[in-house]
């Protein structure tokens, strides 16, 4: 089916990657579960292998599922369309995607990375440890330029930040990077609300586990970028075996079709909850784009405040009490699902970050992060309000929280 030239994103989300289904005579997306692909001519199969190992996106014969899977390739094409990218490369997890980017960046013989805090906890951990042989300098987004060195291979930032939801000016970071490629983790925004490549970033990364899938049933990562970077990323993927499983590719491609609708609905509810939390006597601070002056990039870089809300209560015991008391929300890590999740960053997603790193990123013991789903705002607020009341009542005595 031929889609009109550059329709709106909502239309592209439904149709991207499905252009040939009518010709194929099917309506549902094909799912290719083959682990190997037969060939009839050895020389042509060898040529296909050589092409894929060198980083080509396609070949006459996929040869082996570690090299190429047609179902995953469909998802990659669809996501690249939504991000305005030449290509996208999908991996078995978000951390596999980041690992591939770091290894690809080192192909030029440089091993220094400049990164901003706060950022997803395991990303922080990978950049801080010596596993991949990279040296990381941690800075605020305003100080990126001061940290650039001749051996800097990559600048990495995340916006909105995890878990405090601060907005980072991508164009400012790109200017400061002065030609060093910039990678933006845009997981919280999705291409519905933010497209970092349009602001000068070299690559945009998603933990596709989250909003792109949208139903908590797939683990994946994806990087959208220009073809030159994509070739390097595919070479790393071929060598490391980190290709996304085809079922994951199928679920993600299906998830893209409802992504704009899910984001719009959850964003409306998140805005409502943020306002109500701001007025609650037991909430010390609310983190949400648009509150506390954190709105300078809304309408220019980011098309809306998003669906994540974080809020501060009086310390670990109070936060633990809220998690014990919620009934509708699910206390669990991850985000972007159709149901609402709530978690404690200092104890879970950012536990692997050292105390100094958590302090630098504003990840306190009283901070809770909520991924707003598709339930009604009134139902979610009733749950939160009741949990806050219960936690406030029990926290002084510790009778329940000490268990």
Tell me the catalytic residues: 66, 120, 185, 210
Tell me how long the chain is: 403
CB atoms inside a 10 Å sphere around CB 45: 17
In the block, residue with structure tokens 């692909």: 37
* Distance of alpha carbon 364 from alpha carbon 387, whole angstroms: 19
What DSSP line would sit under 337-367, residue for residue? SSS-EEE-GGGTTTTTS-HHHHHHTT--TTE
CB atoms inside a 10 Å sphere around CB 280: 17
Q: Which two three-digit tokens encode residue 137?
A: 């300098």
Radius of gyration, alpha carbons of the chain? 22
Query: How many angstroms separate the first and last alpha carbons of the chain?
Result: 60
**Cα dihedral 105/220/9/375 (nearest 10):** -140
Angle of CA points 173, 174, 176, to nearest 5° = 65
């Amino acid at each position: 089916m031929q889609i009109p030239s550059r329709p709106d994103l909502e239309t592209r989300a439904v149709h991207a990657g499905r252009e040939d289904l009518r010709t194929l005579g099917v309506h549902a997306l094909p799912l290719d579960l083959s682990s190997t692909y037969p060939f009839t001519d050895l020389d042509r199969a060898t040529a296909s292998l050589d092409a894929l190992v060198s980083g080509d996106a396609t070949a006459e014969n996929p040869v082996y599922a570690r090299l190429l899977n047609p179902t995953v390739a469909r998802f990659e094409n669809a996501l690249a369309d939504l991000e305005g990218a030449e290509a996208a490369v999908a991996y078995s997890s978000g951390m596999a995607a980041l690992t591939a980017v770091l290894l690809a960046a080192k192909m030029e013989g440089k091993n220094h990375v400049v990164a901003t805090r706060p950022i997803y906890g395991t990303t922080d951990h990978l950049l801080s440890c010596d596993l991949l042989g990279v040296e990381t300098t941690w800075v605020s987004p305003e100080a990126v330029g001061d940290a650039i060195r001749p051996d800097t291979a990559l600048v990495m930032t995340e916006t909105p930040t995890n878990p405090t939801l601060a907005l980072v000016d991508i164009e400012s970071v790109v200017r400061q990077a002065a030609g060093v490629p910039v990678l933006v983790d845009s997981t919280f925004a999705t291409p519905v609300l933010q497209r970092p490549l349009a602001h000068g970033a070299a690559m945009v990364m998603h933990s596709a586990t989250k909003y792109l899938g949208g139903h908590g049933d797939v683990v994946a990562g994806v990087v959208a970028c220009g073809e030159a970077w994509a070739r390097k990323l595919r070479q790393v993927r071929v060598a490391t075996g980190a290709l996304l499983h085809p079922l994951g590719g199928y679920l993600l491609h299906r998830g893209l079709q409802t992504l704009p609708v899910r984001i719009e609905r959850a964003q409306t509810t998140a805005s409502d909850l943020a306002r109500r939390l701001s007025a609650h006597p037991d909430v010390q601070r609310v983190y949400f784009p648009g509150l506390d002056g954190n709105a300078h990039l809304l309408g220019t870089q980011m098309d809306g405040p998003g669906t994540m809300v974080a809020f501060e209560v009086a310390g670990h015991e109070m936060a633990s009490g809220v998690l014990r008391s919620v009934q509708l929300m699910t206390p669990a890590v991850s985000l972007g699902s159709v149901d609402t999740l709530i978690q404690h960053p200092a104890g879970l997603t950012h536990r692997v970050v050292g105390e100094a790193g958590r302090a630098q990123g504003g990840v306190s013991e009283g901070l809770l992060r909520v991924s707003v789903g598709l339930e009604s705002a009134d139902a979610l607020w009733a749950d939160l309000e009741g949990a806050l009341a219960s936690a406030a009542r029990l926290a002084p005595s510790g009778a329940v929280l000490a268990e």
